[in-house]
Amino acid sequence: MARSKDKSPDGFQGLFKGLSSLFDLVSSMTEEGKEEYSRSGQATDASGKVRGVYGFSIRVGLGGKPIVEQFGNIKKSEKGAEIAEVREPVVDVFDEGDTLLVIAELPGVNEKDIKVEAKVNIMELTAGTKDRKYSKDLLLPCEVEAAPIKSSYRNGVLEIKLTKKK
């Protein structure tokens, strides 16, 4: 991982440069009429096998508020970048009136390896095979019934419909 060449005593120059880049990106998204932007990559070992996946997505939410979500299994730690065994999938939630539609990207697993549990306003999603594992606890925008009313899994994309509590 590259070290910053920031010579300021408290490192704020690099922080402000990063925030400035983020604000510039959101501003250009607004000007171009884009509602979503994402960037991702992979880290491989010497044999060429993919060991890590990283990325982020930015969506423009209500009132123009940017929503930034990270995904992957490369996490920042005190020692630098570390590759975790479990990946965090990309997940989107859509309000459809009486239901919530949750869409999660889980490539490389089978439907039988996916577990979903909804409790009050939290959905726990886990999936895994020998080679690939995913996990995410998702805070939902409202309370939902405990059982999904409909789910489907095709081409690595899981769709779940949850009924809102009345």
Q: What is the CATH number of the domain that holds 98?
A: 2.60.40.790
Domain with 137, as residue range(s), is 89-166
Same domain, 133 and 151: yes
Same domain, 148 and 103: yes
For 114, the token pair is: 């996916």
Q: What is the pLDDT of residues 87-132, one digit of tens each?
A: 889 899 999 999 999 999 999 999 999 999 998 999 999 999 988 8
Q: Of 84, 116, 146, at which residue does a domain stop?
A: 84
- Taking the C-alpha atoms of residue 6 and residue 61, their distance in angstroms, rounded to an integer, is 33
DSSP string, 128-144: E-SS-EEEEEEE-SS-E
For 36, the token pair is: 């979503």
- Taking the C-alpha atoms of residue 104 and residue 123, their distance in angstroms, rounded to an integer, is 12
Residue 107 maps to a domain: yes
Residue that has been written with the tokens 């590259």 in this structure: 2
Residue 161 maps to a domain: yes
Give the global pTM: 0.64
For 78, the token pair is: 């005190």
Residue 34 maps to a domain: yes
